Structure 1
Amino acid sequence: MIRRRLLPAVLLAGLALAALAAQAGVMTRATLQRHFPPPWTVGEKDAQLPVWPIFKQDMTSPVLAGYVFESIDLAPIPGFSGTPINLLVALDPKGAFLDVRVLSHHEPVFLEGLGEGPLFRFAEQYKGLSLRQNIKIGSNANRGEQHGSANVYIDGVAKATASVRILHQSLLASALRVARARLGFAAGSDPALLARVRRDGFRPMDWDALMKAGLVQRVRLSRGQVERAFAGTGVEEAGGAGEPFDETFIELYLAYLNAPAVGRNLLSEAGWQHLLGRIDEGDHALLAIATGRYTFVGDSFVRGAVPDRLTLRQGDLPLELRDLDLDDPLRLPAALRRADAKVFRVIGPAGLDPARPLDFALRVTREKGMLYGERVSRDFALPYRLPADQVIAPESDAKGWLAVWRTRAWELAVLAGALALLAVVLARPRWIVATPGRLARFRTGYLVFTLVFIGWFAQGQLSIVHVTAAIQALAAGRSLGFLLYDPMSVALWAFVALTLVVWGRGTFCGWLCPFGALQELAAQIARRAGLRKHLRPHRDLDARLKRLKYAVLAVVLVLAAVSPAWTDRAVEVEPFKTAITLNFVRAWPFVAWAGGLVLLNLVLYKGFCRYLCPLGAGLKLLGHARLLKWIPRRAECGTPCQTCRHRCEYQAIKPDGAIVYGECFQCLDCVAIHDSPQRCAPLIARGRQRVIPVHAAAAVRSAA
């Protein structure tokens, strides 16, 4: 019997793990062969890296033509909606893009506004370009010098800058990883093992000390060096008497700014914290300062863009530099306070290794000819290397999901502490329910934690999307190894699976669902503002309404099995993405739906959770594995006492006093009533029935 009751929980755990793998690729060898018909041939999937080799017939033998892969397997960078864009990418052995297609995305601007056509056309521009080029997204403001630029520009999409930039970063990050691992672009090193910058290397240092320690490095180009590089091109400049060839053309200072030994010495404490807040874990902030007659940004450069003249490579691969647009003042010597200074970011997925040399290059471009002007460009190397004592060598287990768990270690520690506290309270609720005020304060505080930390900060909102994606993942036969790359969801699903066996659905729905917490907190605020009590449907109508969520669940699951496109529309019945993931920053129909459900909750308490939530329906079905009837009952419960039933906002108590655990949200209100001599009717009645002995006064006894 116990095994039968445990089976749904086991199935839930497996389904949850598969759901977490849903952000993995969807392609199989057979589907790829349709994308690459003869004369192409798709080989077997690589055992170590999620890529497929593709071959082309050359006379009598097949020749390796490149590798095809999905970006979501290698660089799942969250999009504007919180879900990664998935690209199908084909890369030839020299690092050129054979094909780039959008397989799936959830970008609101392309789903609800511009349509998908502009996004597909944007992706097509990468065909024929190479990873060895500095590919940048152009704009009307930044393309004035493109003919003399060190970059290759492609057209962006107006009103969708953020989304196309995320696609660009996803494409380059995933392709760079394949190029390093399979095309020899990493010079034999393992691209998954990167050094880390030391966080304990700070000591107060002035500018001269930073220069002496090699933390700030100087590169000088004289006018004579530049003229020699242009010798014979017809654009040389003749030096006059007042312009000696040994004068400074440019003097460039380079530094790795987010190394504490550099950043904390060059920025104020407030500026240092501001910098850390502007970059994500694993990103790199690089400082460039220039003096002289030439600089590293052109006249048309705008803040937040990529520089035209300054590029960065590591090994054979370019890395994108983007201006961080920081205004925090730097602690520089007087001679440099009017110099051009910019802080550039390199995103973590680009794979920059701080222990290896950074090969900056400065492009100088000149023109000759009046009618049909010809541009002549030369690149000048600007090497920089962070001192060895500022980096920590990678460990052999720093690959893959372990690194992700490490970076979110403190979030997981906070979550683990909160889940342990909740488990203790639910297992031993007597102290919390001893007084109504204590229970109310604890519950309100925990719901605020759930909404703010689990939901808005850590993005830990579990959703029916996990279930639908799991169905599609299992149908495609994908590996489940990717599940460990989302540690917050793994931890929450594991806890939910465990508590389903112990207590049922209510632990998640009543305590750990951020949208549920938002509804309950909104209802508390409304009550304090004097709004009337909630409507309470008749129990027969309530029972019929509660069946609706099973119909919603069935529709969503059927669509997940037959139509991924319609599944994306159907799962919007959940307001979680709008209210929690996107903080209501979305198209008005979605905001209206989510906001309307919050307002409905003020009239019909948690109406969405009780009557429409497909995830709640699934958890109730799986909650039949519950082993405990943990809410205490008395013989008088239901016959004749109806106190708990009338006080239950969720209408999860039958007239006979039995608890409907599948609809119980585990709020502990009935437990508090059951243990209270002032609120539990049977306990009050027993108190009144006590016989109080009457004793004669001492004077009366004496007289007797």
Structure 2
Amino acid sequence: MTHEASRLTPPSPRRGGRDAHALLCHLVAILLVFLALPAHAGTLGRAGLEKHFPPPLVVGERDDRIPVWPILKQEAGAYEIIAYAFESIDFARIPGFGGTAPDLLIALAPDGTFRDAKVIAHHEPVFLEGLGSEPLFAFVEQYVGLSARQPIRVGRPNARAAGAAPATTVDGISMATASTRVINETMLAASLAVAREKLGFGAVNTGLRVEAKPDYAPLGLAELERRGWVKRWRMTPAEVDAAFAGTGLADPDPGAPDEPFSDLTIAYLNVPTIGRAILGEAAYARLMREIGPGAHAVMVVSSGHWSPLPDDFVLGSVPDRLTIQQGGLTVNARDAAWERRDLAPDLPAGPWTLLKIGDAAGFDPSAPWSLSVKVTRERGQIFPEKIAREIATEYRLPPDLFTRAVPDEGPSWTDSWRARASELGIIAAALALLVPVLARHDALVAKSRPFGLFRLGFLAFTLGFVGWTAQAQLSIVTLVGTVRALIHTGDFGFLLYDPPSLLIWGFVLVTLVVWGRGTFCGWLCPFGALQEFCAFLAKPLRIRQVTVPPRLDRALRQVKYAVLAAILLAAALGSPLADTVSEVEPFKTAITLYFARSWPFVLYAVGLLVLNLFVYKGFCRYLCPLGASLALAGRLRLLDWIPRRTECGSPCQLCKVRCRYGAIEPSGRIDYPECFQCMDCVTIIHDPAQCVPQVVARRRGRRIVPRPVAAE
């Protein structure tokens, strides 16, 4: 048997690509022209705010230093500030996935709670003509009543109904996880910036973890009072009358002259020496287990003429007459509904409450804090007017009774990575499997049937898990957001809130340099995978593929580049047309929203799938702007990696005929910007039963020995 040498071209350094490189340089230059455009600021003036805060509320004068407006309400003949209103974009420009920061109207009450929260403007793609803006509006409204001094987290949909802490958790939105986290970060960052200026939040660290040391000393109640660890607070009638000075209100029931108005005993129970002295060892241990790590317990025992714990006080509720404050802010404290048993015999015999402070409140028991009581008096008989005054006393424990630590939880985007760790692990494992399969042409790729089954299985994973489950469909919307961020904010942190997509983006950028566009378009695009599965219907439906004439085919392939240029130019100019033209992608409809969208968008997406039955992947080849951007970037690849023989193109045309993407020219040369890396031609060239030169050589009694040839 004689041997005939047939040259098989190995991966070789690519040639040309200067035109694409020049085009990219021009595009970058165009975008840089717009870098000097001013960033957007708040849009609401007094007139705009008055629409949101109508009478009887009054919009006060804007602060001289920062764009904050006091919101006033008349109380007892005087105007009282009930909130500070501001726009988030003036304090926190965190880009969303549209590339621009959302603008929220926030009204922050003096105690740090959100009195109002509304969306003024946003460019979040999933809500624009997708889910609609109503779910976003409802999401933001959840913040009303929550405290800005607590680390509020975005949970899963219906997280609060499932048991998540309602004071520190807001329900997320399906298919909009990353966008809602950006909104949450914006809400908290802007509010804390205002609070530091207007409310003194700087003294409170919401991430602080202060715990009592386990040290114990057997001290009696008298010694604890002497040290000030248990505080006895006796309010005299004169002190209360002084609080109501100028109101003309006297105590309607003053009681005996020598009897204190109220007599309170206050104790912080987490310190073992204090808690065990008051509750006993067993009850103290049970209390610490029940409130959980990081939480705090404060006991208030009442005696005297007046009690802050009236007869109708409901166990487990927030006391109306008792308030714990620290750093000028109210600390969320609720009755722990602790069983009413006998306490230490030396304590006054009166009603008492055990107040629980959650671990998210940022409460620091090693720093001074105060307990306030609210006393209410009335004047008038027919329409009595109630006037309330708060009287406070300070409580302080030695700092050496505690350990202090600020957990390093990292920035807010790390929550997304922790929450989606399992999805990231699965996708990373799939990518790790894909690389050696595609890289080793003489292994699985060379075996037609096993490789075909592998490809179908991987495409099913891409569609089902990457697309519909992990919501990691890459999109031109990300490039739009990147351009907007480049021009308006310079902040690309919004990309970190969608870790599965970012992982795939990173993989795609690396493979672009090695293989070109095809790795994403042929293997990792969920909508592309959906088209491939739909194409299987063509045969049972007896639909014949339409062959597009070569000249028309070449012209249609340029359309996607024109669409890409229009989108990026609109994004650079700050035009909303960028969002509109981006809808040429059906990804949001078919993958992100599961076709649950208004009928024009569904009809368009379904129409592209039907087109796919006649013109294989017509959208990907002719319209996809994301594919166009990857094709341009893919021209910078390092290798011409698809093996070729000298017979490819002349005389053999088998690979060209079999290529459904039209990515092989009559000469046998691979058009890499149009190659989707299906690997069919690679399988053919390694299969002696399919590769025509090998078949011919075998019939002639010859064997082809592949030998490398130098690149032209």
Q: For the superposition of Structure 1 and Structure 2, which TM-score range results when normalised by the shorter chain?
A: 0.5 to 0.7
Q: Is the 8 A contact 2:631 2:674 kept in 1?
A: yes
Q: Is the 8 A contact 1:54 1:66 kept in 2?
A: no
Equivalent position of 1:554 in the other structure: 565
Equivalent position of 2:470 in the other structure: 458
Secondary structure of residue in 2 paired with 1:54: coil
Q: Is the 8 A contact 1:366 1:376 kept in 2?
A: yes
Question: 1:595: Cα distance to partner?
Answer: 2.1
Equivalent position of 1:689 in the other structure: 700
2:290 alignment partner, one of 214, 224, 230: 214
Q: Is the 8 A contact 2:463 2:530 kept in 1?
A: yes
Question: 1:98: Cα distance to partner?
Answer: 11
Which deviations, in whole Å up to 9, do the C-alpha atoms of 1:23-44 show, x marking residues without a partner? xxx998774388779xxxxxxx
| Equivalent position amino acid for 2:683 in 1 | A
Equivalent position of 1:188 in the other structure: 203
Equivalent position of 2:607 in the other structure: 596
Which deviations, in whole Å up to 9, do the C-alpha atoms of 1:398-424 show, x marking residues without a partner? 235555544444433333332222222
Which deviations, in whole Å up to 9, do the C-alpha atoms of 1:231-259 show, x marking residues without a partner? xxxxx9xxxxxxxx5xx85333xxxxxxx
Aligned equivalents of 1:449, 1:362: Cα separation in 2: 61
Equivalent position of 2:639 in the other structure: 628
| Equivalent position amino acid for 2:576 in 1 | A
Q: Is the 8 A contact 1:91 1:98 kept in 2?
A: yes
Q: Is the 8 A contact 1:223 1:249 kept in 2?
A: no
Seen in structure 2, the aligned counterparts of structure 1 residues 589 and 214 have a Cα distance that, compared at 3 Å, is same
Structure 1 residues without counterparts, runs of 5 or longer: 20-25, 38-51, 58-64, 134-150, 152-161, 198-206, 231-235, 237-244, 253-294, 298-307, 322-332, 334-345, 382-390, 693-704
Structure 1-normalised TM-score?
A: 0.58
The reply on whether 1:615 has 2:626 as its aligned counterpart is yes
Question: 1:210: Cα distance to partner?
Answer: 6.3
Aligned equivalents of 1:504, 1:224: Cα separation in 2: 80
Q: Is the 8 A contact 2:663 2:674 kept in 1?
A: yes
Equivalent position of 1:32 in the other structure: 41
Aligned equivalents of 2:321, 2:20: Cα separation in 1: 61
The reply on whether 1:679 has 2:690 as its aligned counterpart is yes
Question: 1:670: Cα distance to partner?
Answer: 0.9
The reply on whether 1:471 has 2:483 as its aligned counterpart is yes
| Equivalent position amino acid for 1:493 in 2 | W
Equivalent position of 2:171 in the other structure: none
1:70 alignment partner, one of 89, 113, 131: 89
Question: 1:503: Cα distance to partner?
Answer: 1.0
Aligned equivalents of 1:76, 1:319: Cα separation in 2: 32
Seen in structure 2, the aligned counterparts of structure 1 residues 126 and 514 have a Cα distance that, compared at 3 Å, is closer
Question: 1:103: Cα distance to partner?
Answer: 2.9
Aligned equivalents of 1:496, 1:97: Cα separation in 2: 45
Higher relative contact order (CA closer than 8 Å, sequence separation 6+): 2
Seen in structure 2, the aligned counterparts of structure 1 residues 218 and 427 have a Cα distance that, compared at 3 Å, is same
Question: 1:653: Cα distance to partner?
Answer: 1.0
Q: Is the 8 A contact 1:6 1:501 kept in 2?
A: no
Q: How does 1:297-446 map to 2 (within 5 A)?
A: 352=360, 394-396=406-408, 398-402=410-414, 404-446=416-458
Equivalent position of 2:314 in the other structure: 250
Q: Is the 8 A contact 1:90 1:100 kept in 2?
A: no
Q: Is the 8 A contact 1:108 1:587 kept in 2?
A: no
Larger radius of gyration: 2
> What is the number of equivalent residue pairs in this alignment?
527
Which deviations, in whole Å up to 9, do the C-alpha atoms of 1:652-677 show, x marking residues without a partner? 11122111111100011111111111
Secondary structure of residue in 2 paired with 1:532: coil
Equivalent position of 2:522 in the other structure: 510
Q: How does 1:36-115 map to 2 (within 5 A)?
A: 54=66, 69-70=88-89, 73=92, 85-87=102-104, 102-106=120-124
Seen in structure 2, the aligned counterparts of structure 1 residues 167 and 433 have a Cα distance that, compared at 3 Å, is closer
| Equivalent position amino acid for 1:463 in 2 | S
Aligned equivalents of 1:83, 1:603: Cα separation in 2: 39
Which deviations, in whole Å up to 9, do the C-alpha atoms of 1:320-360 show, x marking residues without a partner? 99xxxxxxxxxxx9xxxxxxxxxxxx9xxxx9468879999
Secondary structure of residue in 2 paired with 1:625: coil
Aligned equivalents of 1:89, 1:478: Cα separation in 2: 24
Structure 2-normalised TM-score?
A: 0.57
Which deviations, in whole Å up to 9, do the C-alpha atoms of 1:609-651 show, x marking residues without a partner? 0110011112112221122111111122121222111111111
* Segment drifting more, 542-551 vs 103-112: 103-112
Question: 1:548: Cα distance to partner?
Answer: 1.6
Which deviations, in whole Å up to 9, do the C-alpha atoms of 1:423-446 show, x marking residues without a partner? 222211322223222112211121
Which deviations, in whole Å up to 9, do the C-alpha atoms of 1:435-480 show, x marking residues without a partner? 2221122111211222233223333222112222222222225234
| Equivalent position amino acid for 1:70 in 2 | I
Question: 1:167: Cα distance to partner?
Answer: 11
1:660 alignment partner, one of 656, 671, 680: 671
Secondary structure of residue in 2 paired with 1:475: helix
Question: 1:506: Cα distance to partner?
Answer: 0.6
Aligned equivalents of 1:459, 1:249: Cα separation in 2: 49
Q: Is the 8 A contact 2:534 2:609 kept in 1?
A: yes
Structure 2 residues without counterparts, runs of 5 or longer: 1-12, 47-63, 70-83, 151-166, 168-176, 212-282, 334-338, 340-357, 393-402, 704-712
| Equivalent position amino acid for 2:616 in 1 | Y
Seen in structure 2, the aligned counterparts of structure 1 residues 171 and 69 have a Cα distance that, compared at 3 Å, is closer
Aligned equivalents of 1:612, 1:596: Cα separation in 2: 13
Question: 1:54: Cα distance to partner?
Answer: 2.2
| Equivalent position amino acid for 1:32 in 2 | A
The reply on whether 1:501 has 2:513 as its aligned counterpart is yes
Q: Is the 8 A contact 1:534 1:602 kept in 2?
A: yes
Which deviations, in whole Å up to 9, do the C-alpha atoms of 1:155-192 show, x marking residues without a partner? xxxxxxx9x9999967753444435665565453545x
Q: Is the 8 A contact 1:221 1:250 kept in 2?
A: no
Secondary structure of residue in 1 paired with 2:483: helix
Question: 1:484: Cα distance to partner?
Answer: 3.9
Secondary structure of residue in 2 paired with 1:213: helix
Seen in structure 2, the aligned counterparts of structure 1 residues 611 and 208 have a Cα distance that, compared at 3 Å, is farther
Q: Is the 8 A contact 2:68 2:85 kept in 1?
A: no
Which deviations, in whole Å up to 9, do the C-alpha atoms of 1:298-327 show, x marking residues without a partner? xxxxxxxxxx99999997668999xxxxxx
Aligned equivalents of 2:381, 2:141: Cα separation in 1: 36
Aligned equivalents of 2:526, 2:666: Cα separation in 1: 31
* Segment drifting more, 352-361 vs 531-540: 352-361
Aligned equivalents of 2:36, 2:205: Cα separation in 1: 26
Aligned equivalents of 2:598, 2:305: Cα separation in 1: 53
Aligned sequence identity (%): 41
